[in-house]
Amino acid sequence: MNYEFFIAKRIIGSKAYKSSISAPIIKIGIAAIAIGMVVMMVTVAISIGLQQKIRDKVIAFNGHVTITNYDTNNSQESVIPITINQDFYPDFKAVQGVKHVQGVATKFGVIRTETDFEGLYLKGVGADYNWGYFKEFLVEGELPDYTQKRNENVLISQYLANRMHFKAGDTFQMFFAKDDLEKLPNIITYTISGIFNSGFQDLDAQYIIGDIRHLQRINRWGSDQIGNFEVFIDNYDALEEKGAEIHQNISSLLDSQTITDRYYSIFEWIKIFDKNTYGIIGIMVLIAGFNMVTALLVLILERTRMIGVLKTLGSSNWSIRKLFLYNASYLILLGLFWGNILGLGILFAQKYFSFFPLDPSVYYVSEAPVYINLGYILALNVGTLVLCLLMLLVPSYLITKISPVKAIRFS
């Protein structure tokens, strides 16, 4: 054990240290570290949680990459069919990291009841559809089964159910216009098998999920024709790379688009969270650092005589600076300890009890989601400790200006 650490430990453990003039300032410095850590942990957890939740909800409706025909159709309705007889379907073996490919189609229709009507898209899906995301969204009833014969069961959003006063088990009629508008529309009577709530109102208001075979019949498509493919990958962080690979490995008659390109405004909006997070972390570290600078200066001034004695006994300036930096490190670690306890308590409370609601029309979620991961927690702790210590190197330089003779004589 080096003597600087030994003396610092004795100072910290002494009763005089705890009842000294600097004690209130030290407590304020520890509190600043703790509060800063709480704010940083909550900010990072909610920022990442929001980004992941919003991202996952958009992906649930569209996949990571969409493969369509080259055409001038700007609507979301499937007009020109694509055959499922493709090299990449059902297994996209040419690109590693693709975990699922599914064929879907969309068609605009109008739901009409005795008192109301609503226009939206029926998204037709088949036996290859991955219901993983919608299992999490399901709030009433059950998911429809399209693996057997064609049926009229559909999945609708809670937003639509509330507007149209529907519940699981109800039936309704949906009207689909024909190409020749003078002809009577196609009418299908659907039964609501389940109700979902993704929390993403913009998408919940647009879609209901039904059997793709109805759309194939209405559009006079073959059983091997669909509107577009939705491709899901293993790692979202590799989206741009995999999107480019997918584009290179499909027919020249087909086009592909990543989810970030298709919903550019939404993904640009959630990127702003990163800038806000970095800003908050920077401010919190500066506040904590300046509080520790103040505490260290008070400690140095309070122990001027001790510094003079140590210099007289032959201690170097750097040795004495290390002593005070050890002392400051203890205070920072103490603040980090309580900050982690409080921060994790708040995060777990929000995760399991959802104390902080959000407006879904603004944030696309009804409650503040939290992402708890050991990686960013360690990074915040180590980063705060290192940056605060670097900031303390400057005020510790004051020790070099203290004359041992004057310090002993006038203390």
Query: Domain ranges in the chain?
Result: 3-56+267-410, 71-252
Residue 101 CA to residue 128 CA, distance in Å, equals 8
Q: What angle do CA 78, 83, 84 make, to 5 degrees?
A: 105
Condensed to tens digits (0 to 9), the pLDDT of residues 307-365 reads 777 777 777 777 777 777 888 888 889 899 999 999 999 999 988 888 888 777 777 77
Residue 217 Cα distances to 78, 107, 125, 148, 212, angstroms: 13, 12, 13, 16, 9
Torsion of CA 60, 65, 69, 75, to 10 degrees: 50
Mark residue 50 as left, alpha or beta (left: phi above 0; alpha: psi -120 to 50; beta: remaining).
alpha
Q: For the chain, which ranges sit under pLDDT 70?
A: 1, 3-5, 8, 10-22, 71-75, 180-182, 399-401, 403-411
Residue 154 CA to residue 306 CA, distance in Å, equals 80
Contact 283, 290 (CB under 8 A): no
Instruction: Name the β-bridge partners of 122.
Output: 107, 208
Instruction: Name the β-bridge partners of 175.
Output: 110, 187
Residue 236 Cα distances to 98, 126, 233, 402, angstroms: 11, 25, 7, 57
Q: What angle do CA 57, 266, 346 make, to 5 degrees?
A: 65
Residue 170 CA to residue 191 CA, distance in Å, equals 6
SS3 of residue 140 by DSSP: strand
pLDDT value of residue 116: 82
Two structure tokens written together for 201: 């109102």
Contact 139, 169 (CB under 8 A): no
pLDDT value of residue 66: 92
Residue 367 Cα distances to 42, 202, 279, 325, 389, angstroms: 14, 17, 23, 42, 37
Residue 344 Cα distances to 42, 206, 348, 365, angstroms: 8, 38, 6, 22
Query: In this structure, what are the phi and psi dihedrals at residue 367, rounded to the nearest 5 degrees?
Result: -150, 155
Contact 212, 50 (CB under 8 A): no
Residue 285 Cα distances to 27, 39, 301, 344, 360, angstroms: 17, 10, 24, 18, 31
Residue 92 CA to residue 63 CA, distance in Å, equals 14
Query: In this structure, what are the phi and psi dihedrals at residue 340, rounded to the nearest 5 degrees?
Result: -65, -40
SS3 of residue 235 by DSSP: coil
Whether a cis peptide bond, with omega within 30° of 0, leads into 360 is: no
Size (the chain), residues: 411
